[in-house]
Structure 1
Amino acid sequence: MKSFRADYVFPVYADPIKNGIVTVDDVGKIISVTDSSNPPNGPIENVSGIICPGFVNTHCHIELSHLKNKIKTGGGLVSFIKEVQAFRNSDEQQVAGAIEKADQEMYNNGIVAVGDISNTNLSIPVKAKSKLYYHTFVETFGFLPQNAADVFDKATALLSEFKPQSVSVTPHAPYSVSKELFKLIRKHSEEGHNLISIHNQECEDENKFYRYKLGGFLDLYQYFGIDISFFKPQARNSVQSVIPLLTNKQKVLLVHNTCTNLKDIYFIKRFDRKVNFCFCPNANMYIEGKLPKIELFVDQGFNITLGTDSLASNDSLCILSEMRVIQKKFPALSTERLIKWGTLNGAEFLGIDDEKGSLQVGKIPGLNLITGLDGLKITPESKVKKLI
């Protein structure tokens, strides 16, 4: 057994414990969480900072890890998509090496579980031997209605390659998935377990396209040679257009939400859908140079999680770094709340909260130590160290 005493222990499911002590067995299973008035038997290692559970990264693209530092910042989403596509046929050995390195980086940064987007089978070997838990979202692209069946069949074939790993089929984004493809995914989702993760309202052009059929996406479709003459403007934002197409049988993660407004949130609340939100602030700053209005989402009754996006749009794969950006912009958000977003909420979305996400007896959530705090506030000097 190992015991650690810290300035604070954040069990997440309960209030923080000042001078708390966490005891784990040799595989990291929680034996006890207590305060200093009731110490366990045996030696106790004293550490300075906050002990919390291992982090859960609900949105990553590990197969884009080879694109680190290759795509310019601040170019906007349309430009970013073009640049990513230009690198799609990179050397497979280089891609595989970058995937392995990124997996190790997440482990070193205290991440214990990942919701990962995949378009290929290149990450299967790394995920099979990883110390992290992965759920893979096999992503579908297909805005042309006539291609829906073929796109869906290819996605289910890739899904079969990932099994028995945890895996599901998911739509990429409102602007890249036809109603017909949405309906095929919905039917599939209602026949068995199939978590959904969708890129949502990452830029204003997405809403402009859906409302008026204007903006940068017209150039994107032209760039890819896609005839969208069939598409009629919907006179409402993208998320309002696609929410009715989603299943109510599965949990749905809406990712980024950079340009989601209060009307969108109220619209979503009117529908019987199991919606969760994920914020990836570093990627939003990297691509669009702006953050979501996160304060609009707080206390609205939705489960909120955190993600890193990919190394194509981020300098690192670190959940603490995402928390730092959020707290700097929204100082009213406490570290306690942010840690819950980055641990238990993510574990609940992925369906692994029986083992991960909180410091409860019997769980194996991992232990992280956060240092370099100002009181309980995250600072530029704050770091995460994996204890277990």
Structure 2
Amino acid sequence: MKSFRADYVFPVYADPVKNGIVTVDDTGKIISVSDNPADHHTPHVEKLDGIICPGFINTHCHLELSHLKDKIARGTGMIDFIKGIQGFRHASETDIIAAATQADADMYNRGIVAVGDISNNALTASIKAGSKMYYHTFVETFSFLPERAQEVFDKAVDLLAQFRPQPSSITPHAPYSVSKELFRLIKNYADTHDDNLLSIHNQECDDENKFYRYKLGGFVDLYQFFGMDISFFKPQARNSLQSVLPLLSSKQPILMVHNTCTNLKDIYFIKRFDKKINWCFCPGANLYIEKRLPKIDLFLDQGNNITLGTDSLASNGILCILTEMLTLQQNFPALDTGRLIKWATLNGAKFLGIDKDKGSLEPGKTPGLNLITNTDGLKLTENSKVVKLA
């Protein structure tokens, strides 16, 4: 067994423990969390400065885009970012696999224990199968053209089989890239298959809402750029989230990712439906692409689970959940460390359905063990780093 003492231990399921001690066995299973002063003097306790918390859960990543690090210009907006991604879609498999393998190792070393990962091909399947982290793969579907819905869905089913028996599911990409017909096929599948978690990119830019409300803005130009005839699409007179929410399954948990331009009316709108909505924030990617962040304050205490993600190295300089936490704290000082740690651990584990084993320092679990260094009492600082303990 190993025992670690720190300035604070965050079990997550309970209040922080000052001068707490965490004891784990050789497999990383939590034996105990103690606040007994007598335990501090036992010889096997390693004394550390900082905060001990569970391993981090990254609920939104694109491992297969890791080869695009520093390839796409920062701050040019969502439309140009999409064009940039498409320009690199035909990179060599050797480069894609090498970069993804390195990214997988880097995430593990930065204290991440589980990942919700988006995939459009099977190149990362073997990496995930051999990873030290838990993966749930979201097989992503694209097609805004109604006539292609069945073809695209069938290909997604075939791709899903290449990831099995790893945890995986079929999911829509975004409101602007999935037709109603394709949404319905995914809904029918999700309604009839267990554990088909859903993850959808939501309201990443103003143009997405403009397109749905008025059929105006950058997405009209983007479809022209790709040579697509969207004359069939009629303005919905409401934001994208409100337009597509009725098309999503009520049976499965749904992760709304990014939410950069989600407003209070959108948040209240979801309360009218029996949907299992979770929010995921990826602040590093929001700043990289749009140079703006979601209005985090609107989402607090609304009754929905909130998680954190990194997005991809195409839109972020580093796949590190602690970095995402620091970005949020710097921009929203009212967010306390306890709330951020819960978003980064237990909430992500709950969405992925692995909270019986991950997400909190409860005896019997193997959640991973992180030390956050260079803290100021209960607060993170710009110099805080993460060290993986178990």
TM-score category by the smaller chain?
over 0.9
1:142-198 Cα distance to aligned partner (Å, 9 max, x none): 100110000000000000010000000000000000000000000000111200000
Deviation (angstroms), 1:374: 2.2
Q: Secondary structure at 1:113's aligned position in 2?
A: strand
Q: Which amino acid aligns with 1:133?
A: Y
CA distance in 2, matches of 1:289, 1:378: 23
CA distance in 2, matches of 1:367, 1:8: 13
Matching residue of 1:113: 114
Matching residue of 1:192: 193
Matching residue of 1:33: 33
Deviation (angstroms), 1:38: 5.0
Matching residue of 1:272: 274
Matching residue of 2:182: 181
Matching residue of 1:348: 350
Q: Secondary structure at 2:143's aligned position in 1?
A: coil
Q: Secondary structure at 1:39's aligned position in 2?
A: helix
1:217 aligned residue (211, 216, 219): 219
Q: Is the 8 A contact 1:19 1:36 kept in 2?
A: no
Report matched runs for 1:128-277 at 5 Å: 128-193=129-194, 194-277=196-279
* Unaligned stretches of 5+ residues in structure 1: none
Q: Secondary structure at 1:356's aligned position in 2?
A: coil
Deviation (angstroms), 1:373: 1.4
Alignment size in residue pairs: 388
When the two chains are superposed, the root-mean-square deviation of aligned CA atoms in Å is: 0.8
Q: Secondary structure at 2:234's aligned position in 1?
A: coil
* Unaligned stretches of 5+ residues in structure 2: none
Matching residue of 1:65: 66
1:207-259 Cα distance to aligned partner (Å, 9 max, x none): 00000000000111111111100000000000000110011000000000000
Matching residue of 1:93: 94
Deviation (angstroms), 1:37: 2.5
Q: Is the 8 A contact 1:61 1:117 kept in 2?
A: yes
CA distance in 2, matches of 1:282, 1:30: 32
TM-score by length of 2: 0.99
Change (3 A) 1:46 1:120: same
Matching residue of 2:321: 319
Report matched runs for 1:11-50 at 5 Å: 11-37=11-37, 39=39, 43-50=44-51
CA distance in 2, matches of 1:128, 1:238: 35
Matching residue of 1:298: 300
Q: Is the 8 A contact 2:57 2:348 kept in 1?
A: yes
Deviation (angstroms), 1:380: 1.4
1:329-364 Cα distance to aligned partner (Å, 9 max, x none): 111110000000000000000000010000000000
TM-score by length of 1: 0.99
- Between 1:127-136 and 1:375-384, the stretch displaced more is 375-384
Q: Which amino acid aligns with 2:312?
A: S
**Mapped pair 1:75 → 2:59:** no
Q: Is the 8 A contact 1:202 1:259 kept in 2?
A: yes
Q: Which aligned runs of 4 or more in structure 1 are off by greater than 6 angstroms?
A: none
Deviation (angstroms), 1:375: 2.4
CA distance in 2, matches of 1:270, 1:329: 31
Q: Is the 8 A contact 2:9 2:53 kept in 1?
A: yes
Deviation (angstroms), 1:283: 0.1
Q: Is the 8 A contact 2:54 2:369 kept in 1?
A: yes
Q: Is the 8 A contact 1:369 1:385 kept in 2?
A: yes
Q: Is the 8 A contact 1:145 1:180 kept in 2?
A: yes
Matching residue of 1:366: 368
1:101-146 Cα distance to aligned partner (Å, 9 max, x none): 0000100100000000000000011001000000000000010011
